[in-house]
Amino acid sequence: MLIQKLNSFRIILGSNSPRRQLLLRKLGLNFEVIARNIGEDYPPHLQKEKIAVFLCERKSQAFDDIFTDDKTILITADTIVWIDGKNIGKPKDAEEARQTLKTLSGKKHDVITGVCLRSARKSHIFHECTEVFFNSLHDDEIEYYVSHFKPFDKAGAYAIQEWIGYASIGKIIGSYQNVMGLPIQRVYKELLKFCEII
């Protein structure tokens, strides 16, 4: 069984994101969580997927000490929201969350996740992009979401699996799980190749 072969490796998720942990659990993987506080600044000339790729690779570099043997695999990831030529990060407070959601209202944006797979001997980086189409948001809807769901730890100030996803996202093109923070089908396929199982 492919999953059993993957589970013969020591898989480490370098993230304290509950969404990423949930997605890996749903895949049936046994893994450890080791979280480290890593800055999310990046060179200003980077655009779109290059930002996510840069950040996931930088996160992986903070774990140089964990590779005890060739059976240890590290997964790091970074998700960004890109709209109108800009990266929309995590809101600092409720007012910034409101303004972010007003920016997304009635428009299409891209959710891009960069993923780095790393072992003692090699690394592999890839990215996934999902197009998300928001319906127009009423101010009352924005206020309800921000006050009840407190989306301050989320790029773009929202989580697709919460109320706002059911009420106000009209369409997506691409991976739903990518919008949650990890394109899990792609991660599975890339892990199988990275671990030389297929």
User: Which residue numbers are catalytic?
Assistant: 78
The C-alpha atoms of residue 170 and residue 190 are separated, in whole angstroms, by: 30
In 3D, which of 64, 75, 90 has the Cα closest to residue 188?
Answer: 75
Residues 80, 93, 140: CA angle, nearest 5 degrees: 95
Question: What are the start-end ranges of the H helices in 37-110?
Answer: 49-61, 94-104
Query: Are residues 33 and 15 in contact, defined by beta-carbon separation less than 8 angstroms?
Result: yes
The C-alpha atoms of residue 7 and residue 11 are separated, in whole angstroms, by: 8
In 3D, which of 66, 77, 52 has the Cα closest to residue 119?
Answer: 66
> What are the start-end ranges of the E strands in the chain?
10-13, 32-33, 72-83, 86-88, 108-118, 123-134, 169-173
